[in-house]
Structure 1
Amino acid sequence: MVVTVTAALALGVAVAAPAQAAHAGDDRPAPGSRQKGLARELDQALERASADVGDPGVQAVLMKDGRVVWSSNRGTANLESRTPVTDRTLFYYASFGKQVIAAFALHQVEAGVLDLDTPISTYLGEEVAGSHAVTVRMLLTHTSGYPNVYADPAVAPLLPFASPGAEDRYDPDRPWSFAMLNAGIREPVEPGAREEYSNTGYLVLGRVLSRTAGGDEALERAIRRFLGRAGDVKPMTEDQITLQRSERALRRFAHGYLQRDDGSLTDVFTAYGATGIPTDMYGMPFTDGLFAGTARGAAQFLDALFVRDRLLSPGTVDAMITPSPQSAAAGGSYGMGTDRAVVGDRIWQGHRGGYPGFTAQGATDLERGVTLVVVTNRYALPRSPADVIWERLAETYARVAR
């Protein structure tokens, strides 16, 4: 099978409907012919790349300085109903959301609520294993040393694809709590010694944020206020980025599809009898992948963070994107909840995401102030569909918009 539990949960990383209308432009004032030329090239790149990964449902957005300069929707949000992807279709961001929760955590550091280098026992007491040795900085930089909670026997059987037979025991409507996850959180191994991608660390980070905010509901309200600042003329809304698994969200949500070895697709919404959005997909307590939304919502967040300085001070952003010493020592570029992608001669700052049914990739070319986001409702290995499409679009943009 294409996905195993450890591969599916560690990835940080159908016939398509006709493409929807696209809106295009350049990243600087240009004649209409040049503008149309860029749109045409990006549309063609999206069509070819989508075909290469099985024609998933896709939203793609290119933004500069808070303005969408090109966007396109392709494919099907729900294969059974043949519902096409539109601008309003919601997708699960998966680990792209680590960048969002990391930015909020750094906002709390700026406000004096958190300290990056104080042991998290200050906030959690003895609740979580290793709390006296682990800091918020370690959680943000994947250097905490926590083992993979999703592979632990206390948690793995509760999730799909986690272990042999897990799919038979999986309940997509099961309510989750941090206590259920904490049952599988073990003592960290050499905290601070090395970078090792850790969903567990971000789950613990969420618990720290919940405790300091006054509970999960208070944390959700604080995050919504924080994200509201990413709006341009109006505040960012739940229609663009959400952490609520509501009936309203369900009506707009794309179904996620897991591609098997034989090419067949499993609808992760319907295959296991979910009555709504599966409860393991996003929302509290899953702060390793807390958010869903549109490509435009993700792009607006990145643009507000990296281009318009709406969310954090420039100094904090610089610290966020600076690779940790542990990552740099291993030849990596991961900072605090964000990583670099190099395409040609351009360096993009962002994060990818993947969870059975969905993949995402979003990043900003800091030098030019351009943001590119791709979200899909297809999960396949060895390469994420969103990664493939995003790289083709980034290559095309770099070639055409010089």
Structure 2
Amino acid sequence: MTDLQQDTDARLHHALHSLAETAIAAGTETGVQLTVFRDGRLVADVAAGTAEPRGARPVTPDTLVYSASTGKAVASTVAHVLVERGLFELDTPLVEFWPEFGAHGKQGITLRHVLTHSAGLPALPLDITVEQLTDWEWMSAMLAGAEPRWAPGERVGYHAGTFGHLVGEFVRRATGRPISQVLADEVAGPLGIADELYFGVPDRELPRVATLENDPQGHAIFTSLPDQFPLFQAAPRQVVPDAVFGNRADVLTSDLPYQGTMTARALARMYAALVGEVDGVRLVSPDRLAALAAPALPGAIDEVTGAPAIWSVGYAAAWPPASGSDASGDAGVLRDVAPGHPTSFGMGGIGGSGGWADPVTRVAVAVTKTRFNPVDASLMQQVTDLVRGWES
């Protein structure tokens, strides 16, 4: 690495650190992690603030942070790695390994349909409880017995709360292992981050998890939305993540593969190993990378959100959105957003965390935060703007 590269990287790290400290001083954030990789090399790894709303425990690069739908990209990565290994194909029907899933005409639903949110199973039961959500067998049986809302591939609609269990049970049936174990064995372990990237957090690791707090203004705006709000039709409000939900031990320790608890460093490292090589590890081939990152449903309208479908095969295409638009994860997919860089892909969580990568520049970025804001992801947008400027 040249002296010029070192200087440029140092300036980016300093700018990200200043951004984090300014947000914390202003009271808009409590604790944050900001990580950037380029060409498989760690460029910036910022941790600032506290891991508790009113405590002294600092956020460190090792602090685990519940990050909501950010974890959908992790589940997708597990699936793509198994496809890369030849265990199944994107067009393998789920019933090949999960026969009872074929009830009510679901025999034609493939892994590709699930990853592109076109399987026709976007909604959880309106009366679902958190206890049912965290019961793997109950969720799997419910999905196996569900009636699809449309034929597979006919339409698309954000599978907000069903995505993870559809992927996860298919993976469990195909491998004989829970998806959390497959994540550790096939993705996190080879990358040296098995203790930083989780669906369900082991009990022994709970002391490392940050305690979230709800942003008062954002939380008030979100809770004032009517029951008819599109997201609540797919994921009823009693199971839509907020700080209280994300602090529950049963949520943190359960496999919910549409969510995740992680460090920004681990998430960015995973994305970096998708778009290139990290310490000798590359998760997918260049051809598979091109296929998974490209928009899968151009011109389609999302049946759940009413907005243009943004999905690639397992991720959000051209994400994050362009500067000045909304990058707020689950909330962001409920409205039109300005397209971001055409080759980037990623996934955000409703609280403001998220990650993305760009196969062209081979940059990977992750943001985790402890102040949960469902309507504002300005920190992600500011980080993205800084990184885009650094890229150029």
Distance 1:214 1:261, change over 3 A: same
2:305 is matched with none
Letter of the 1:117 counterpart: D
| Contact 2:75 2:257 survives alignment (8 Å) | yes
Percent of counterpart pairs with the same letter? 24
| Contact 2:156 2:309 survives alignment (8 Å) | no
The 5-angstrom pairing of residues 2-401 of structure 1 reads 29-30=3-4, 34-49=8-23, 54-127=28-101, 129=103, 130-149=105-124, 151-153=125-127, 155=128, 158-159=129-130, 176-180=135-139, 182-183=141-142, 186-190=146-150, 191-198=152-159, 199-216=161-178, 219-228=179-188, 230-231=190-191, 236-261=192-217, 278-281=249-252, 283-284=254-255, 286-289=256-259, 291-308=260-277, 310-324=282-296, 326-330=297-301, 331-339=308-316, 340-341=318-319, 342-343=321-322, 346-347=341-342, 348-354=344-350, 358-383=351-376, 387-401=377-391
Secondary structure of 2:4's partner?
coil
Letter of the 2:314 counterpart: G
| Contact 1:98 1:202 survives alignment (8 Å) | yes
Secondary structure of 1:63's partner?
strand
Unpaired runs of 5+ in structure 1? 1-26, 160-170
After superposition, the C-alpha distances for 1:29-82 in whole angstroms (9 at most, x for unaligned) are 517654543333333333445566722311001111222212221222112432
Query: 2: distance between equivalents of 1:134 and 1:270?
Result: 34
Unpaired runs of 5+ in structure 2? 221-240, 302-307, 324-339
Secondary structure of 2:250's partner?
coil
Query: 2: distance between equivalents of 1:83 and 1:128?
Result: 49
The structural deviation recorded for 1:381 is 3.1
The structural deviation recorded for 1:319 is 1.3
| Contact 2:34 2:45 survives alignment (8 Å) | yes
After superposition, the C-alpha distances for 1:4-41 in whole angstroms (9 at most, x for unaligned) are xxxxxxxxxxxxxxxxxxxxxxx975176545433333
Distance 1:125 1:45, change over 3 A: same
Query: 1: distance between equivalents of 2:71 and 2:313?
Result: 12
The CA RMSD over aligned residues, in Å, is 3.2
Secondary structure of 2:138's partner?
helix
Query: 1: distance between equivalents of 2:107 and 2:180?
Result: 26
Secondary structure of 1:315's partner?
helix
TM (norm. structure 1) is 0.74
- How many pairs are equivalent? 341
Distance 1:76 1:63, change over 3 A: same
TM (norm. structure 2) is 0.76
